[in-house]
Structure 1
Amino acid sequence: MPHPFRTTAALTGVALLVASCGGGDDAAPAGTEEGGLTPITVADTAGAPLYFLTYGQEQGHFEDAGLDLDISASTGGATVIPQLVGGDLDVAGSNVVSVLIGAAQGLPLRMVAGGTSTSEDPDQDFSALMVPADSPATGIADLQGQRVAVNTLRNINDIVLGSMLEEAGLAYDSVEFVELPFPDMAAAVANGDVAGAMIIEPFVTAAEQQGLKIIGRPYSDLKPGLQIGTYVMSAQAVQERPEVAEAFLEGVQATADDIAADPEAFRAALPELGDLDPELAADVRINLWQGGTDRESLELIQDLMVDYALVEEPVDLDEIVVG
């Protein structure tokens, strides 16, 4: 079943821009020292990834590392990479598939810290494959030939749902993926516009409250503790200002350790961080953050990316992973 290559096409355009500009070698280093802190601009995906960064900033972990973060929300994935390559951002939060696709196309990207991971406990996986309460489906194989909502095409969803389908003895593309924003998915399932949806928190808990049921855990089914997100800088920025990359990793690690030590404090902050209803915040499954990059997750995902033709061959992880 054909899928639009939106992510690949977008990143190809960025690769051509980089090539035409000589790889951006004349760009000035981002940020200057002010008041003992280095200001940097960071964008991350709206939702839990953004909550994580904001929490770390509010708790002083990035300040302790010597950084002053100017944080903005993004839609994530490939959309944020042009801003990074173009010099509008110092650090971008994205998912590992988008970054690996970009690196395979020659974009000068470096992973400087690990982003969002899922839980080691499948019941606490913040992703879920969901269907109506009265659906006869009990697993992804029951959705063969039907429409399944995902937030983006030709990306991490192809990897995790494709793997689930193959584990069920089906071809990885034996369902029809339909692109929908996360906030719209539960209504689309309830209305019968799609047979199921690949949803993440806090929308999973909200969908459960609306009567949808879970029939699979896409992230943890592939690998418990799977790393999905990553923080990226340009290769030039890392080369010219390695101390910024090191400080950012320090701040991410400190925030990850803080949340691991006291997850309920993070949960208590969610209503303010994400403008969430307190009752919803009390029930959502909290993402896992590990600080550094999980090479095992990247190797597993890369192998499947080659199998599913998202890239022709793996990239050199020793080159692109620096934190």
Structure 2
Amino acid sequence: MKIGFRTAAAMSAAALLMTACGGGDSESGSDAGGEGGEIPTLSVADTNGAPLYFLTYAQQEGLCEEAGVNLDITASSGGATVIPQLVSGDLDVAGSNVVSVLIGASQGLPLRMVAGGTSTSEDPEQDFSALMVAPDSAVTDIGQLEGQRIAVNTLRNINDIVLGSMLEEAGLSYDSVQFVELPFPDMAAAVDNGDVAAALMIEPFVSLAEDGGLKIIGRPYTAVKPGLQIGTYVVTEQFAQENPEAVEAFQGCVQAAADSIREDPDAFRAALPEIGDLEPALAEKVRINLWQGGSDEESLELVQDLMVDYGLLEEPVDLDEVVIG
């Protein structure tokens, strides 16, 4: 039986709060404070795919070290999965999506957004997200997916907002489809096999799926807002208070990487075969995310308003408290 939207959100938040009771100190496996002038190393997890490539590029290009920090980076399946790790102290920084962070903050989790993560393009054709269907599918619009299963990487995150908005635009409700949680690398096969009718993918999985014949029927991120901020980098309030220099250095690393990719996207694309283990031909065609360094207040307010509309939040959170970068 499908869990109601409000009930599912509450259950998720309650689980996170239970996790929070067991940890949250800044003494993880990293040396966040550094000793004797030593550059601190922060443990960071980010979503597999384009978000992960951004941080890997920043680290390998020496941009983080120049800013005064090193990163120990691991891949995650999505933003909601890393928040319990962050709150328990297993991570210093989590690359998440803004929806998961706002849900946690609304339920009392001590989360602080310290830098902007991925944003999408102003151009829908360059949106790094895509809603995709099988080569032989007759579906050409999300409005034809009523009662069908749609694959998403994690439940109760940015997918709820962008797909919910698209469904509303098509005259349907959020509950008119069933979301199925699948890792990005498994989605194309699930669509091909008929296990799901469609999937919301990001790059490079979009381009890989296109090579396999899957069809794009929508651009979820730009459909909500061109240039929409999707991701954010988050720490706990305690970590931010105890490690202000490390947080500032991380912010400098993110901003430097965002500036570098904006000024020389070809250099980032040229690095993708190594940092993303991509075939050179695929690296040449993937759509590149945008990164702004800082948080985009307009995007955050829009997303939060939609979260209230869809019942993911009972009321808006205080962004002035949650956002510190």
When the two structures are superposed, what TM-score results if normalisation uses the length of structure 2? 0.92
Once superposed, what is the RMSD of the aligned Cα atoms? 2.1
Note the C-alpha offset of 1:17. 4.1
SS in structure 2 opposite 1:110? Answer: strand
- Tell me which residue corresponds to 2:279: 277
Which is further off, 247-256 or 150-159? 150-159
Note the C-alpha offset of 1:7. 6.5
> Following superposition of structure 1 onto structure 2, how do residues 68-79 of structure 1 map, counting pairs within 5 Å?
68-79=70-81
Asked if 1 retains the 8 angstrom alpha-carbon contact of 2:39 and 2:65, the reply is yes
> Following superposition of structure 1 onto structure 2, how do residues 28-177 of structure 1 map, counting pairs within 5 Å?
30-33=32-35, 36-177=38-179
SS in structure 2 opposite 1:112? Answer: strand
Q: Which residue identity does 2:300 align to in structure 1?
A: L
Deviant stretches of 4+, over 4 Å = 3-8, 23-29
- Tell me which residue corresponds to 2:296: 294
SS in structure 1 opposite 2:176? Answer: coil
Relative to structure 1, the CA distance from residue 200 to residue 25 in structure 2 (aligned partners, 3 Å threshold; closer, same or farther) is closer
> Following superposition of structure 1 onto structure 2, how do residues 145-294 of structure 1 map, counting pairs within 5 Å?
145-294=147-296
SS in structure 1 opposite 2:174? Answer: coil
SS in structure 2 opposite 1:173? Answer: helix
1:20-44 Cα distance to aligned partner (Å, 9 max, x none): 46x8579699432355412222121
Asked if 1 retains the 8 angstrom alpha-carbon contact of 2:96 and 2:231, the reply is yes
1:48-103 Cα distance to aligned partner (Å, 9 max, x none): 11111111111111111111222222223222112211222211111111111110
Which is further off, 180-189 or 1-10? 1-10
CA distance in 1, matches of 2:205, 2:36: 39
- Tell me which residue corresponds to 1:321: 323
CA distance in 2, matches of 1:17, 1:159: 25
CA distance in 1, matches of 2:9, 2:272: 31
SS in structure 1 opposite 2:175? Answer: coil
CA distance in 2, matches of 1:280, 1:32: 39
Which is further off, 38-47 or 197-206? 38-47
Note the C-alpha offset of 1:197. 1.2
Asked if 2 retains the 8 angstrom alpha-carbon contact of 1:6 and 1:153, the reply is no
CA distance in 1, matches of 2:49, 2:40: 25
CA distance in 1, matches of 2:41, 2:185: 33
Asked if 1 retains the 8 angstrom alpha-carbon contact of 2:50 and 2:202, the reply is no
Asked if 2 retains the 8 angstrom alpha-carbon contact of 1:7 and 1:78, the reply is no
Identical-residue share of aligned pairs (%): 70
Asked if 2 retains the 8 angstrom alpha-carbon contact of 1:11 and 1:78, the reply is no
Note the C-alpha offset of 1:242. 1.8
Note the C-alpha offset of 1:13. 2.6
SS in structure 1 opposite 2:58? Answer: helix
SS in structure 2 opposite 1:291? Answer: coil
